[in-house]
A and B are shown apart, each in its own frame.
Chain A
Amino acid sequence: MLRLLVRRAIEGVVVVAATSFVVFLAIYMLGNPIQVLASPDSPPEVIQRVTASLGLDRPWHEQYWRFVVNALHGDLGVSFVHAQPSLALIFGRLPATLELVVFAMIVAVVVGLPLGLVAGYWPRHWSSQAISSLSVLGISVPAFWVGLMLIIFFSLEWRLLPTGGRGATVQVAGIETSLFTLDGLRHLVLPGFTLATLPLAVIVRLVRTGVREQRRADYVRFGRAMGLSPGLLLGRYILRNVMVPVVTVMGLLFGTLVAFAVVTETVFAWPGSGKLIIDSIKQSDRPVVIAYLLFVVVMFMVINTVVDLLTALVDPRVRLQ
């Protein structure tokens, strides 16, 4: 266990270094961002001076070296657009994204797991067919479309929920969050469900498939023969066995949702990190793009390590190495 963690940490350093190199090189090749950033009314001498003062006229390896040295001092550069250190900017936006993702994951698991179990255990029943069809629907509709439809009906037609934005926040354990205010939750519902469509559908399908396979296993037949109730069988035995792929995929989805909440956050004007990264890409705000990518890499590695540990916990057959 400890060995795994140490090893993962060492690997992590290597991966972060490699990523920073690749990303830096790729972004360097995109050309001088000042050309795009500066006001079109800026004379060339200003653009040249700014380029030089930011060191963007140096060869790429020099720029990279400077980046590495600064990074080791905890400085990942200052946003070209927001006049803030890029890491601070990202962490400032993260709580909003995290609460959106957490909400979506909770919806996905709370709704998806039971639906998947039911659909897998009674595959022929009409409700299972309906669940399967709906899960297909869930992965078929692009998120921005779901979002706009929800806005049109819930906000404009029925006037039940706000059209977008984040609601009132409170400080909980030092973090501003809107998860614990009524206004915050009202604002969270539509983007949360929009973001939940995909993980929900994936979990339903995964669980359903798993259960259907397990149903034929000897222990289930035996249990059934002994007269165990479906609820007990599902909840106690089958669930445990279908959890391995679910945990794996959920871990992946969690990170993905954090990184890819771009569309939901755009449609709902949600002030999270997904919106930050797409804006930064569009505005050529390179320090933020690089810092964000490195942050996401680290986040994924942590999630993957946790997933591996959890997998080992729920299924002892998987060896930790």
Chain B
Amino acid sequence: MSLQLSSRQVAERTQAVVEDLAELEGPLLPILHEVQKEFGCVPEEALRTIAEALNLSRAEVHGVASFYHDFRKVPAGRHVLKICRAEACQSMGGDALADGVRSALGIDWHETTPDGRVTLEPVYCLGLCSCAPAAMLDGELHGRLDETAMGELVKETGR
């Protein structure tokens, strides 16, 4: 997930992803997921390559990539903390927990700490509604969070 790729490298690696998946019916979402896995985001240059390969306009591909919350224009921080903001977590004090994290990290939703350590994202339901409040740190699920446990998660992002 190097940030220093030339646009030619991006194009080449995107081309390889597209070739792998182009045979699928409706390949665009799987391609965008793979591209994001490759680069940590969906770079502008990748959109161009995908559009050419799938015979779509760049506007169409941009339209799709920008429609979905998951696809990033720039890579996230080293850690991604997703906190559930939906009703079940609200009912167990999720809002206050999230406010605490925002002030502890000094960032708002969708932002990354200046040191690039952690990106904070809201998520609307992890399906852990019977073990609320819930969060996901780098793909790992955490339920029944309280201030102490959430504090531990935030601390983990510092390691």
**Interaction A to B:** no
Interface positions of A (Cβ within 8 A of B): none
Interface positions of B (Cβ within 8 A of A): none
